Amino acid sequence: MKIYGISGLGADKRVFGYLNLDYPLIPVEWIEPVENETLKDYSIRLSKMIDIDSDFALVGVSFGGLVAVEINKFLQPKLTILISSTETKNELRPIYRGVGKIGLLNSIPSKFFDPPRNIAKFIFGTNNGKLLNSILDDTDLRFAKWAANELVNWSNLDRVENVIRIHGTKDKLIPWRGSGKVELIDNGEHFMIVDRADEISKIINEKIKTI
């Protein structure tokens, strides 16, 4: 069983480096979106990196969870694991959907998607500010703007069949608003894939063993 990891908006494979999994995890590197590309079409292109000739699972973190949900519509992973993410648009904050409706992000310059580091540390809720800062420093701001715009305009209402939700009870960016089964991490925040990696690794290993 291979696990393909899709990181969050502006993040990269470094967020998976703290996990201790019993199965190989292959980070899926972001590719550059083409002009006016939808999240669905982007996900189709990104999925070309996945070997569908052998069993695989998807792990999507934050914005990467949206991509994992889209990929799940046309590929058949044995399991889709959403960490600090959402399964449908209705689980996002209403203000995000409101921003999408009025098209606010289209008029904002890309440089504004590089937040002050002290604010980012608070929003992500992490003690590992050094790693977060390093990731933010390396973020392609044009990609961040495109991804943020796709998030607030996401229209998906479809549920994922074989899904595991792992969410922190203190997530500020994407608070838990879902229904159904979820593994809640007490006091976990948005960057918990790093800060609570041991607990998350245990959940993933146990769940994959069941399939």
d(CA 108, CA 141): 12
Tokens of residue 203, six digits: 């959940």
Reading phi first (left if > 0) and then psi (alpha if -120 to 50, else beta), residue 62 is in left
- Which pLDDT does position 178 carry in this prediction? 73
Q: What is the full per-residue pLDDT of the chain (211 aa) written as tens digits?
A: 999 999 987 677 899 999 999 999 999 999 999 988 999 999 999 999 999 999 999 999 999 999 999 999 999 999 999 999 999 999 999 999 898 888 888 888 888 889 999 999 999 999 888 999 999 999 999 999 999 999 999 999 999 888 999 999 999 999 998 777 899 999 999 999 999 999 999 999 999 998 8
- Using CA atoms, how far residue 53 sits from 1, 49, 76, 150, 163, in Å, is 11, 12, 11, 30, 21
- Using CA atoms, how far residue 8 sits from 11, 31, 52, 203, in Å, is 5, 13, 23, 19
- Which pLDDT does position 184 carry in this prediction? 96
In sequence order, what DSSP letters do the residues of 24-69 get, joined into one string? -EEE----PPPTT--HHHHHHHHGGGS-TTS-EEEEEETHHHHHHH
The reported pTM is 0.94
- Which pLDDT does position 105 carry in this prediction? 87
- Which pLDDT does position 180 carry in this prediction? 72
- Which pLDDT does position 194 carry in this prediction? 95
Phi and psi of 54, rounded to 5°?
Answer: -135, 160
* Residue 135, C-beta contacts closer than 8 angstroms, at least 6 positions apart: 10, 11, 12, 14, 15
CB 80 within 8 A of CB 58: yes
Q: Is 94 exposed, middle or buried (0-12, 13-18, 19+ CB in 10 A)?
A: exposed
Give the number of other Cβ atoms within 10 Å of residue 125's Cβ. Answer: 19
- Which pLDDT does position 49 carry in this prediction? 94
What is the fold, at CATH topology level, of the domain defined by 2-209? Rossmann fold (3.40.50)
- Which pLDDT does position 165 carry in this prediction? 95
113-151 pLDDT tens trace:
899 999 999 999 998 889 999 999 999 999 999 999 999
